[in-house]
A and B are shown apart, each in its own frame.
Chain A
Amino acid sequence: MSWFEAKAEKPKIPPAKALWAICPRCGSHMSKETWKKNGSICPKCNYHGRLPVRERIAATADEGTFEEMFREVSYSDHLRFHDASGDYRSKIEATIAKTGEKESVVTGRCTIEGHPVVLGVMDFSFMGGSLGTGTGERIARACEAAVAERRPVIIFSASGGARMHEGILSLLQMAKTSAAIAKVKEAGLPYISVLTDPTTGGVSASYAMLGDINITEPRALIGFAGRRVIENTIHQKLPDDFQSAEYLEKHGFIDRIVERGEMRRFIAKMLTYWGF
């Protein structure tokens, strides 16, 4: 018969995407198995890949100690926002159904190598880790809980910035969370900010950059404005390592780049120095 029917009968081969992982930083190809086995870290360039929120919590908290708080706080569609591709409510409800999470940050208490802390972990796969009213509310409550329980605050950020779909109130979460962080410091408690890949826009311009120490993982992207926006503004090509963890450390905005395998130990050690 005709050629296209013959083609249709071919056995199904899984698409390349299902088998291969590509490092977003250096472009190396490797099997998904290799990527996963290596803890989502590129064996070639040491880029520390994005971790799903529950994996990050498992990798950070002492086993079995994480108690989630403020799970009842979720998004708000006060603008009844819709754009060309549909409405915000359906989009975020689909994300909630897919991820099982109700906001872009998960907050709770746990211990890290025995040190009691309040932990917040952002999830880039939840609406790009965007800062919505629910995100800001969870972070503010986490800070207040830390003050009440005299625990240090540790926040792992991963975000593209404020959540446009929630308009001005999303922007104002930057002020709300920064004020809440100030309360933690005022209470004499430390705040360690871990900026993971990527942390940009309104999140980098609020609580993520306010750590008593700011730490990050190798090759993470950290910045305020996007590379393309800047290139279009200044009509110049930017260096390849622009807005990388290493670049920020060089310019003085990051205290330390910490390997993922060392993260727990490093955080615990810093807390020890300060008597926590």
Chain B
Amino acid sequence: MATKRAAKMTAFDRVKLARDAKRPHVKDFIEALCSDFEELHGDRLVNDDAAMVAGFGTMEEFKVLILGHRKGETVEENMSANFGMVNPDGYRKAMRLAKLAERFHNPIVTFVDTPGAYPGREAEERGQAEAIAKSLEFFSGLRTPIVVVVTGEGGSGGALAIAVGDRVLMMENAVYSVISPEGCAGILWRDGHQAPAAAAALKITAADLLELGAIDEVVDEPAGGAQKNRKAACAAVRKSVLKALRGLVKIPVDELVAMRYKKLRAYGNFYK
């Protein structure tokens, strides 16, 4: 069914769906996946970044750490969470709590949905580049299972910073890209209006990414997209996340970390 629909939709149609404010966001996924959830705040350095949600919850037999970009439904909600654009403090909060999860053997589930890391003055001054770089290095070696779900916009480095994991799932209408289609069109087409052409050329849909080996599984969405039936969309994500967790917790942690390195190492290795 998913394949049939894919034939009719352009990449840019999916970009629009991925950005739809009615789509389920991290709050919805937490409600659907966890029977309880306690949010925790702050990077212990300078700030608490509202654009990054972090906290512990119970998901069936698992006590998990949840990390995710926060987007909202209304303008007010979005403004309070900086439209899901994380500052360095948010990535540092994520690492701080992930370290705690590692200590107590809590698996980690991340929800990726951001236009990108925040391009601000203070973000640069507090080391946006360093915070993302450190996250990539940190999660690559973290000794606990990590399941990643790309749920909406997977915007470049700001998305990748919490998308290094053992199993990467992606919702059918989510997109995940090295640069926004508008940004790419502005640079390579010299015309931001060519975003649909750029979206197609960049190959950013879940089906494309599965083919490229960049993700492990596509989670099908209800007909018309997740925004049409959030409950069903969340249930599908829940099922895939649980399945992934049940597989990963069986793997001895040394092996798990070695497998993660192998997985990262295989991205774009065309030169045997």
Contacts and interface: CB of A to CB of B under 8 A. Distances in A.
Contacts of B271: 72-74, 134, 137
A146 interface: no
Interface stretch (B33-41, B103-111, B182-190, B236-244): B182-190
A225 B128 CA distance: 9
B134 interface: yes
A164 B187 contact: yes
B141 to A, nearest CB: 5
A171 B133 contact: no
B59 interface: no
B254 interface: no
Interface stretch (A54-62, A113-121, A177-185, A263-271): A177-185
Nearest to A79: B203
Contacts of B130: 209, 253
A196 interface: no
A174 B124 CA distance: 18
Contacts of A107: none
A170 B134 CA distance: 18
A230 B118 CA distance: 9
Interface residues of A, number: 63
A85 interface: yes
Contacts, number: 189
A151 interface: no
B252 interface: no
Contacts of B188: 83-85, 164
Interface string A185-222: 01000000000000011101111111000000000001
B178 A162 contact: yes
Contacts of A224: 117, 119, 123-124, 128-129, 132, 157
A20 interface: no
B269 A137 contact: yes
Q: Is the interface of A mostly helix, strand, loop or mixed?
A: helix
Contacts of B214: 168-169, 172
A83 B201 contact: yes
A168 B176 contact: yes
Interface in B129-170: 129-130, 132-134, 136-137, 140-141, 156-157, 160, 163-164
B192 to A, nearest CB: 12
A179 B187 CA distance: 29
A167 B204 contact: yes
Q: B156, B191, B208 — which one has the most chain A CB atoms within 10 A of its CB?
A: B156
B212 A168 contact: yes
Interface of A: 72-74, 76, 78-79, 81-85, 133-134, 136-137, 140, 162-164, 166-176, 178-183, 186, 200-202, 204-210, 222-226, 229-230, 233-234, 236, 238, 242-243, 251-253
12 contacts: A134-B271, A164-B178, A175-B140, A175-B160, A176-B265, A182-B140, A183-B261, A202-B178, A210-B134, A223-B129, A230-B124, A253-B129
